Amino acid sequence: MRASRPVVLALTLALAAAVAGGCGTSSPGSAGGAGAGQEEASQHAEEAAQQHEEHAEAEHNRELLSQIEAKKREEAAESSAKQREQAAEAKAKRREAAARKAAKKREEAAAATVRKTEAQARANAQKHEEAARAEAKRHEEERTHKHGTSTTREGAGSSFTPAGTARAPSLP
């Protein structure tokens, strides 16, 4: 409606000028003035129409500019959203890779701990076994020294002989 106000105003002025010029008494000198008034009114009407066209064109151009800017904003928003999405995907991939790496590191550490524990258990078992052998050997030596028995067959003589068997005589 903004475009129509100046047009209406211009047309009203032109009509008023035409009426004012034609309402007077017709005299030979005023006949030329009436023609000039009509020309002036039509010139004003043309100017008003031209202004109306220019205003309509300017409004149309503003609308086109507004549409172009809106389209640019939309494209920029889409581009920005796409970039954010790509960045988020890349970040997720990096996090996933870091999580896999950390999990692998934890698994390797756990496996190393298990190997270390097993090796320590084997070493402890071997120590206990060696200690048991040493203890058994020590007990055997103590028993041998305590009873005064020798480890040879001749001196090992136990007085027990099973029934029905003869003891072999010792050879000199």
Report the number of distinct structural domains present in the chain.
Answer: 1
Indicate whether 127 belongs to any domain.
no
Contact 77, 60 (CB under 8 A): no
For 151, residues 6+ apart whose C-beta sits below 8 A from its C-beta are 144
Walk along the chain (172 residues) and give the pLDDT tens digit of each residue: 445 666 666 677 666 666 555 555 444 444 455 667 788 888 999 999 999 999 999 999 999 999 999 999 999 999 999 999 999 999 999 999 999 999 999 999 999 999 999 999 999 999 999 999 999 998 988 888 877 655 544 444 455 555 555 555 555 5
Range of the structural domain that residue 93 is part of? 4-19+34-109
CA dist list (Å): 70 to 79, 80, 165: 14, 15, 122
Indicate whether 45 belongs to any domain.
yes
pTM: 0.39
Indicate whether 93 belongs to any domain.
yes
